[in-house]
Amino acid sequence: MAIQYRLTTDAQLQEAVEEQLRVRVFKNDLLIETSALLIRYDDSLIVTQSGVSDLSYHQRDECELFALKRR
């Protein structure tokens, strides 16, 4: 069973990076990216990778990230 939870803190984002959790990215309540790996983040930017050379850059204050974690 998979659990979806929102990533809001730096600790949660770091856990997603370390455990290579798949994330969903929402912007303005629209799903803009699904099943991507969180590669890196800082105070203003989040970088995700959904393919070998497919990197996406998202403004941290403009989007919401949700992780899928399997139990």
pLDDT string in tens for the chain (71-residue length): 778 899 999 999 999 999 999 999 999 999 999 999 999 999 999 999 998 889 999 999 999 999 987 77
Burial class (CB in 10 A: 0-12, 13-18, 19+), 54: exposed
* pTM, entire model: 0.85
Full residue range of the structural domain in which residue 18 is found:
2-70
**Ordered DSSP codes for the chain:** -EEEEEE-SHHHHHHHHHTT-EEEEEETTEEEEEEEEEEEE-SSEEEEESSSS-EEEEEGGGEEEEEEEE-
Total structural domains within the chain: 1
Residue 57: CATH number of its domain = 2.30.30.100
- The answer to whether 23 and 38 are in contact (CB under 8 A) is yes
